[in-house]
Amino acid sequence: MNNMRKEMFNLYPFRRAASHFALATLFFVLFHAGWQSVSALLDGKDLHHAVPVLEKPVADLGKAIGAALTFWMPDAVVSTPLGALSMRTTIAYTLYEWVKLPILLFLTTFGMTLLRLKVSAKKIEKTLGRDDFLGAVGGTITGMLTPVCSCTVTNLYAGLVAGGASRKASTAFLFASPALNEFAIVFMFVFGGLWGGLTYLFVGFWAAIVTAYLSPVLGLNPQNFVDQVLKAKCHISHVTYANEVEHAFEDAFLLSRHLLLPVLISGLLAGVLVNFNLTIIQVMERAQFHWWGPIAATLIGLPLDVNAAATAPILMAVSSVVPLGTLISVMMATTVASIPEVSMLNRLISKRNTAKVVTWYAMYTIAIGLLINKLFEGI
């Protein structure tokens, strides 16, 4: 650790002001989430509309910055094999991701570390700290209540691990958050009916649990990377903390700094891929009721960066021309993984283990589509 970093972390006024600003930001995000629920209920909306989107204030900030910095640009379009690529859309979306992803990574790490420092280890171990079935269930439920896209979930995943979440709990969260959240569940009840929605919910829940138990085989153990980063502060001499807030701030700063480059790469890839989200509609229109529909849906959807809420136009466009299993493959493939997520996982768990994770996601997504098409054949 060089002298500049030693001096920076020893600048008490800076650290104190920055850590308290981070705490205020975290409280604002949580308050905003609560207000989303309260206002939805007061407006008479259904319960599923009252579930808050935790990242909304940060995402809104990113969108505003992206729009403000690109509104003057001419909308140059480049033709590619996958479709048209808009330069203005790409730059605006990349800026949006570059604002959103680093902030969410920092706030998640900061909040989870602060919780770990404030709450006794025994209490943490009783929830997301458990590396058993209940821990996996806790991670799955947490993921269900945190609807984010695949590139965002990797940042939250790293923060959960840094904050003391177990391997099983964090792995279940990594799978469930983009694939099994309230948006996805509601859409599947709408498009698949009662049995389609229940099937999606049941199978998705157990898929997250199975993924948690497969974590050793898949190499999903970013704790080694996180520990390496956080141990770096041991080389900083004479660093003292006035309270847990400053301690959590430094841990979050160190982890975010080491992951900044893959986060920026992830955001850039998301900016490029967002142009091709509707390409999957063209593929599904060709697949229709062919048996290989779920395979095509998985292969074309897996690399794209689409969150569960944004799949609504895609699902609506293809719901009348493809069977239920293929529809589910579309939903899961476009949410459980993406090229931006791969760039982050490469940094956390190595390229080899990332390939295992993506292969597992692809196998599961294809299998569930084929199975449901068979079960609901002729219905």
First-last CA distance in the chain: 64
pTM, entire model? 0.72
Residues in the chain: 379
Selected residue with higher pLDDT from 55 and 319: 55
Cα-trace Rg, the chain: 21
Confidence of residue 27 (pLDDT cuts 50, 70, 90): very high
Distance of CA 284 to the CA centre of its chain: 25
Residues contacting 167, CB < 8 A, separation 6+: 131, 212, 215, 216, 220, 221, 223
The CA distance from 247 to 236, in Å, is 13
Tell me the average pLDDT across 330-355. 82
Phi and psi torsions of 222, nearest 5°: -75, 0
Selected residue with higher pLDDT from 378 and 52: 52
The CA distance from 199 to 212, in Å, is 20
pLDDT of residue 237 exceeding 50, the answer is no
112: three-class secondary structure by DSSP:
helix
pLDDT of residue 234 exceeding 70, the answer is no
- pLDDT score of 236: 46
* DSSP class of 79: E
Which of 338, 336, 331, 330 is CA-nearest to residue 288? 330
- pLDDT score of 346: 86
With contact defined as beta carbons under 8 Å apart, do 271 and 90 qualify?
Answer: yes
pLDDT of residue 232 exceeding 60, the answer is no
With contact defined as beta carbons under 8 Å apart, do 270 and 128 qualify?
Answer: no
The CA distance from 160 to 138, in Å, is 12
Beta bridge partners of 86: 77
The residue ranges of DSSP E strands in the chain, in sequence order, are 77-80, 83-86
pLDDT of residue 208 exceeding 90, the answer is yes
